[in-house]
Homo-oligomer: A and B are copies of this chain.
Amino acid sequence: MTQLSLTSKNRCFNGEQHYYTHDSETTKSEMRFSIYLPDEALARQTCPAILFLSGLTTSPDNATQKAHYQKKCSELGMIFIVPDTSPKGDDIPDDERYFVGQGASYYVDATQSPWSENFNMHTYIIEEFYDLIRLKFPISSIGIAGHSMGGHGSIMFGFQYPSKFISVSAIAPICVSSQSEWGIAAYTKYFGEDSKDSLPWSKFDAVSAIKQAGKQYPLILVDQGGVDEFYNTGYLQPEALHAACQEVNQPVTLRYHANYDHSYYFIQTVIEDHIEHHYNATLTHG
């Protein structure tokens, strides 16, 4: 059974911020994650959890330090979990571009060498890590959220594995990863050339996951900053997300926020709305 190693523990509001490492069979490397546990969870009462997937270049530290989720999770008695964005280390393949390699998994399983040995973040998140957190912590249900590349991940996972999540949200997500310059660069490395016959890249797009989903959610929440430099240059495509939701009648609240950018200053501004979105889903589902 996978062993967790506690690397730090800090009391924060009415709960504790923990960091752990564990050896992953899926990524063949040591993986880090952070988890905020409200006092209810520390007392081994089951609590709803949010799994938050982070964006390009980040580690669990970015959201844990800058997203400012702890206060609201303390108030509502929610667990907040931040896994890493890829396997990392000197022995792990990398690329000089920040949007390929370490910190840039896009939460897919690579099929091409040398990436396929470690870059299996799709299976890592949805099987190994998902099972691990449910086994080790008193989690009653999991909502999935994310930012940028992590918003791509949260929507993709949420609609591909609807039995595993009760709610979905995203902040400034990459909505059509296979058509963004970031995703094109990375998927070329991880999958080889795009092919409709073998493994179409679009299989790993948030919008295709919505269109092909077998289940709908009562409502998903997506926030987008109006002066986000990556929105304005076409990397994010929230309009395609909106069209996909309309096509399959998936209710979505897609909010545009004038003057906000792609940074954690925007994330902290809207994070409490996302936490409440996931919390409200637990009330509906009982």
Given A71-B268, A268-B71, CB of A261 within 8 Å of CB of B66 = no
Q: Which residues of B contact A261 (CB under 8 A)?
A: 10-11
Quick one: closest B residue to A262, CB to CB? Answer: B10
Which A residues between 221 and 270 are near B, CB-CB below 8 angstroms? Answer: 225, 227, 259-261, 263-266, 268-269
Chain A contact residues: helix, strand, loop or mixed: mixed
Q: Mark A56-68, 1 if CB is under 8 A from B, else 0.
A: 0000000001101
| Size bracket, chain A contacts | 20 to 34
The answer to whether A70 has its CB under 8 Å from any CB of chain B is: yes
User: Given A65-B66, A66-B65, A66-B66, are A10 and B265 also a contact pair (CB < 8 Å)?
Assistant: yes
Closest residue on chain B to residue A271 by CB atoms:
B71
A interface residue numbers (CB < 8 A to B): 10-13, 17, 65-66, 68, 70-71, 225, 227, 259-261, 263-266, 268-269
| 18 CB < 8 A contacts A-B | A10-B261, A10-B263, A10-B266, A11-B225, A11-B227, A11-B259, A11-B260, A11-B261, A11-B265, A11-B266, A11-B269, A12-B265, A12-B269, A13-B268, A13-B269, A65-B65, A70-B265, A70-B268
